[in-house]
Structures are given as structure tokens and as C-alpha cells.
Structure 1
Amino acid sequence: MGRKIFVGTSIVLTLMMIAAIFFSLPYYVSKPGKAKKLAPIIQVENREEGKGSFMLTTVRMGRANIYSYMESKLFDYVELYPLEEILHETETQEDYNARQLHMMAGSKLNAIEVAYKKAGYPVEYKYKGVYVVQVMPDMPAEGKLLSGDRIIKVDGKRFNSSEGFIEYVAKKHAGNTLELTIKRNDKTKIVQISVQPFKGDPKKVGIGISLVDDKDIIVDPKVTVKTDEIGGPSAGLMFSLEIYDQLMEEDFTRGYKIAGTGTIDSEGTVGPIGGIDQKIVAADKAGAEIFFAPNEKGSKDSNYNLAVKTAREIDSKIKIVPVDVMDDAIKYLDKLPMK
């Protein structure tokens, strides 16, 4: 009898442990990810990588279960976030993933444009439409459009940018109907959506979506950026540095392991990101010697200051370098002696 009770108890405990893995809590948990060399991810045609390496840094984020919740309470640099801080209202995990991938796509385009222009190469764009990044709740587009939909035409008209789309819709009156030609899962369909005033600004009308441009960048030599499994815009700065390094004859790595983070816009301005303390931990584990961090114009609570604080806490020897624009990083690298 005792053996049966023991076996039965063991089975119950095993099932409970398995259930704890798959039972999701209303939180997201993030932790240090990895520092990845960019040369295998980015390749400019007929160019070679430098002696050192540029690295992007990542944060691992996912829905919390009982184990990851406990981990956030027990270990440093493991952060817990309420569900509503990560997912927008009515947004699903699939919507969130699509939003992250579209932000990454925009980040790649900006990085390519900035790097090629800095290196003195011409840049052109081929516009294909606009992508839906997010659908707002209680607005006309809800239930008719999804994150990831490509809007090809509006009332039979094509637009070269999301700004053109927004300007066209803004001229409509509440109650007017738009005919949108969209592409979803490689299938084209037409949807009718009326416009209505925004709750926060009744003088403006719209259908309740946020957009990004769907466009291809045309450069020579060609560049390939493989980011199938990476989302978000935070690798923009490091993308631009790797591309620029490959375009130029000079080796800007100088033989060092160089990590960093920060968004980048088409003008080369570097923006702040989340989880920089976790990225410092990841860079330190990967043996990075230099880390570029968004300076936010010297703000007291800047990414740069948090990065310096984290490096000190973990007793890291990484040199943290503040950057506001891509040129700040290039000027720093110009002064580095060859290792």
C-alpha cells in the first residue's frame, strides 16, 4: 500500500510540475539574452568582415510561468512586467510579435540608409504600401484589419508613405467610408471601413490603426540582413556600424569585440531602449570590450548612466561609451589604436 501511495504521489507531483511550466501568469519576464556577432547576420556584397567584431545584444522575454516568476524574485537582472505594460489593449501575442518584427524591419531600413549615405553611396526606395502595426480598440478598423495586413490602395489610390495615407484619411469627415485593398497571408481582399473621430481628439478622424511604410531599399553594393528571429528596433545602431564597416576599406573594429544597443532613425539619431542593464550582462558574458549606449543628451536617467551603473555592479571591465548619433560611435572608433 505504501509503495502505491508513493508512486501515486510522485505522479501527481510530476503532473503539477509539468502544469507549472505551461500555466501562464498575467506577467512577462525578461532576462539577459545573448551578444551575437553581426558579421554572420549582415553581409554586404563582396565585402569582408574586420579583425574584431560588432555585436548586437538581446533580451529574452516571454510570458511568465510559475518558475520564471520565482526566478524574477530570486535573481538580479530578471525583470517582471504586468501583462498590460507589454501588450496593448486587445492585442494578442501574435499581434505583439508582428509589431516587433515590423519595428525590426523599419530599423533595418534606417540602418542601411544611414550607413550607405555615411559611406557616400546613393540610396533609393521602392514603395509598396503600408503595413498595419496595431489596431486600436473601439475604432472602426477593429475586427476588419489585423496587425501585419498590408494596405495596397485606399479608394483605388496608392500612397508612397504612411504619411500620405494619414493625410488622405485626415481630410475625410466622420461617417465617410474608405475602400481599402489589403493583402493578408498572400491573399488580396477589399474591406469597407468608415472613419470616426478619435476619443482623445474629436477634431481628428481616422480608422484606428498605426502604420509603418512597406518599402524596399535599393543600394549598390547589395546588402543582406538576416533577422528572422529578432524583433524590435534596438539593434539599429549596431546594424548601421556593421554595414558601414563593411562598406569602408578601413577596419573600424580595430580588432576589438564591440557590443552596443540603441534605435536609429533615418538621420542617424540614436534612441533609448529597454533592458539595457540586461544587455550589459549579456555583453559581459560574451567578452565584449566596448559597449555603445544611448546617451539621451546627457539625461540623468539615460541608458548610458544605467549601463555604467550595471557594469560597476557586475564588476565588468567593459568600456561604456555614450552616443547620441551614429557619428559619435564612428569618431570614437577612429581614435582607437589597432589592437
Structure 2
Amino acid sequence: MRRNWKKLLAGLIVLVLVVAFFVPLPYYVTRPGSADKLDPLVSVEGYSSNGKGVFRLVTIAMGQANIYSYLAAKVLPYQELEKESDVRGEHETDEEYNVRQLSLMNQSKNNAIQVAYKAAGKSVKVEYRGVYVLSVMPDAPAAKYLAAGDLITAIDGKSFASSAEFIKYVRSKKVGDKVEVSYKHEDKSEKASIELIDIDKKGTPGIGISLVDDQKLVTDPKIKIDSDKIGGPSAGLMFTLEIYNHFGDTDWTKGRNIAGTGTIDVDGNVGRIGGIDQKIVAADRADAEIFFAPDDTVTAELKKVEPGAVSNYEEAVKTAKAIDSKMKVVPVKTFQDALDYLKTVKAK
């Protein structure tokens, strides 16, 4: 009888351990990811990369926490816990989160192409295609028709040159009015009559979606960037450097192993990103010699949210010192700052 109780207890313990592994907690765990070579991801028609060295984008690995990963993140260095509500927006589904991340990467990629092509004196034009749907309010009439990833091409038969014009037109209507929405869902053209709702409880009419401009770049020479598996905007600076390195005779890698991070806007300004300490660890593991870090200004608004916040560059230097890295951490505010630094680097 005692032996049976022992077997039953052992079975229950095993069951609890297995269940604990599969039950998700309302947290995400982030940790150092990979430091991927950019050359295989970028192809420019008629040009090849000049680099004898490499430019690398750096990632952060993120996954839903279970009890084991939660406890591990509490004790292991450079692993962080983030509340689910801080990662995803209110009512945002997994699909909508992924669409948002891919949209951020796409915008970052487009910015990188524009900055690099303009710097190299190459042709690049922007074509506006419509409004890209990032998410839909679950209780809005639009939820019956629209989904994250859809492309709205017209309202009441009218096309627009920007999302600002789109919003202005919708807000010229009244709550309860219906508009005819022309959109593409999985490349299939659709139309739907959708009732406008009060989107802010202040009487402002809207469809009930979050949106962003969908743009297509027309370049000469043609370019292709394989970024389908990469989300977020933080690789902007490094994509710009890799693209620019295809033009001219200069090897901007200087034969070295170069990593970095930072958003990029169409004017070449480098912006702040999250998880800079984890990215330093990932780059160091890839034996990077140089790391470009955003030298951002810590705003008063950020200080209110994070009283101890410092610039990405300061945090990167602190982390590199803590892990005894030999990487040279370089502060950059613009794409040109990165080029100016590389001009001073002796080629291998």
C-alpha cells in the first residue's frame, strides 16, 4: 500500500512539473540573441558587397515565460522579464503583435534604403500604396471585415497620398456614418460598408484600427532585402551601412567584424533601442571588434518612466566593461557619424 502511494506521489510530481512547463505566465523573457551577418540578406542588382569584413545586426531572443524560464531570468545575468501588457498593446493579439513588428522592420528597411541610396547618389522614389492595418478594435464593426496585415486602398472610392489625409477624411464624417472601404486581404481585393465608431469616447469618428503608411520604394539599381524573419526597427543603422557598402570602391568594413544597433529615419538620424546590454553580450559572443551604439539624448519624459535611464551608448559601455569585452563601443547620432568613424579605422 505504501509503495502504491509513493508511485502515485511520484506521478503527481511529474505531472505538476510537466504542466508547469507548458502553462504560460503573463511575462516575456528576453535574453541575448544572435549577431547575424548582413551580406547574405542584402542583394543589389549589378553590385556586390565591397566588404572583406562583415557588418552584423544584433537581435534579442524573446519568448513567453513559464515557471522555469521565469525563475531562470530572476537569477541569470542579462535575462530580463517584461510584463505581457508592456510588450503588447491593449487587446493586441499575437498575430497583430507580429504584424506590428514586421511593419516596424519594413519601415526601418525602407528608411535605410533611402538614406544609403541618397548618400551614394543613386535613384530612389517613394510610392504610397495605402493604409496598412496593424490592429483592429475587437468590438468595432470593422472587426467583421478587416484584419492585421490588410491594406486599405480607398474610402468611398477616394484614394489618399498619406495616412494623414485618410484620417482627415474619416474624421470629416460623423459617428454612425457608414463608409465604403476598399481593401486587400491576402492579395484579394475586397469592399465593405463599415460603420464609424467613437474611437476615443470624445465623439471622434474612426474605423477602429491602428494604422501606418504602406510605402513601396522604386530604386535604381533594384535591391532586395531578406528580412522576413526579423521584427522591429533596431537594425536600421546596420542595414544602411551594409547597403551603402555595395556602392563605390571603399570597403567600409575595413576588413573587420562590426556589429551595432539603432533605428534610422529618412534623414539618417540614429535612434534609441531597447535591450542594448543584451545586444552587447550577443555581439561580444560573435567576436565583434567594433559596436555602434546610439548616442541618444535621455528626455525628461523617459526619466519620468525610468528615473535611472542613461543613453544607449552609456549603457553599452557599462555592459562591455562588465563582461570584459575587447569591443570598441562607438557612439553615433547619425549614419554620417558611423562613416566618419570608419574613415579613421585602419584596414586589416
Question: Paired residue for 2:306?
Answer: none
* 1-structure distance, mates of 2:332, 2:171: 37
> Which residue identity is paired with 1:99?
R
1:267 aligns with 2:285: no
1:335 aligns with 2:330: no
Q: Which runs of 5+ in 2 are unaligned?
A: 300-308
Question: Paired residue for 2:175?
Answer: 174
Question: Paired residue for 2:106?
Answer: 105
Q: What does residue range 128-277 of structure 1 map to in structure 2 within 5 Å?
A: 128-136=129-137, 141-142=142-143, 144-199=145-200, 202=202, 204-277=204-277
Identity between Structure 1 and Structure 2 (%): 51
* 2-structure distance, mates of 1:143, 1:275: 37
* 2-structure distance, mates of 1:248, 1:75: 45
What is the SS of the residue equivalent to 1:123? strand
1:326 aligns with 2:343: no
> Which residue identity is paired with 1:324?
K
Question: Paired residue for 1:37?
Answer: 37
* 2-structure distance, mates of 1:166, 1:55: 38
Question: Paired residue for 1:304?
Answer: 313
- 113-122 or 124-133: which moved more? 124-133
Q: What does residue range 58-137 of structure 1 map to in structure 2 within 5 Å?
A: 58-136=59-137
* 1-structure distance, mates of 2:298, 2:329: 14
* 1-structure distance, mates of 2:236, 2:112: 6
* 2-structure distance, mates of 1:6, 1:222: 69
* 1-structure distance, mates of 2:298, 2:257: 25
Q: What does residue range 12-31 of structure 1 map to in structure 2 within 5 Å?
A: 12-31=12-31
Q: TM-score, normalised by structure 2?
A: 0.90
> Which residue identity is paired with 1:222?
K
Aligned residues: 338
In 2, are the aligned partners of 1:264 and 1:270 still within 8 Å (CA)?
yes
1:198 deviation in Å? 4.2
Q: Which runs of 5+ in 1 are unaligned?
A: none
What is the SS of the residue equivalent to 2:232? coil
In 2, are the aligned partners of 1:28 and 1:82 still within 8 Å (CA)?
yes
Question: Paired residue for 2:303?
Answer: none
- 282-291 or 19-28: which moved more? 19-28
1:11 deviation in Å? 4.6
1:128 deviation in Å? 2.4
* 2-structure distance, mates of 1:173, 1:247: 52
In 1, are the aligned partners of 2:136 and 2:143 still within 8 Å (CA)?
yes
> Which residue identity is paired with 2:123?
P
Does the C-alpha gap of structure 1 residues 229 and 10 become closer, same or farther in structure 2, counting only changes over 3 Å? farther
* 1-structure distance, mates of 2:167, 2:275: 32
1:6 deviation in Å? 6.2
1:19 deviation in Å? 2.3
1:203 deviation in Å? 6.9
In 2, are the aligned partners of 1:89 and 1:137 still within 8 Å (CA)?
no
In 2, are the aligned partners of 1:106 and 1:212 still within 8 Å (CA)?
no
Does the C-alpha gap of structure 1 residues 183 and 44 become closer, same or farther in structure 2, counting only changes over 3 Å? same
What is the SS of the residue equivalent to 1:71? helix
What is the SS of the residue equivalent to 2:157? coil
In 1, are the aligned partners of 2:258 and 2:288 still within 8 Å (CA)?
yes
Deviations 1:227-283 (A, max 9, x none): 121111111111111000112321000011111111111111111111111000000
What is the SS of the residue equivalent to 2:39? coil
Does the C-alpha gap of structure 1 residues 272 and 140 become closer, same or farther in structure 2, counting only changes over 3 Å? farther
> Which residue identity is paired with 1:304?
Y
- 119-128 or 267-276: which moved more? 119-128
In 1, are the aligned partners of 2:52 and 2:254 still within 8 Å (CA)?
yes
What is the Cα-based RMSD across aligned positions, in Å?
A: 2.2
> Which residue identity is paired with 1:56?
L
- 302-311 or 185-194: which moved more? 185-194
In 1, are the aligned partners of 2:123 and 2:221 still within 8 Å (CA)?
no
What is the SS of the residue equivalent to 1:61? strand
What is the SS of the residue equivalent to 2:329? strand
In 2, are the aligned partners of 1:297 and 1:324 still within 8 Å (CA)?
no
- 207-216 or 37-46: which moved more? 207-216
1:330 deviation in Å? 0.9
> Which residue identity is paired with 2:341?
Y
1:16 deviation in Å? 3.2
* 1-structure distance, mates of 2:167, 2:47: 40
Question: Paired residue for 2:305?
Answer: none
What is the SS of the residue equivalent to 1:181? strand
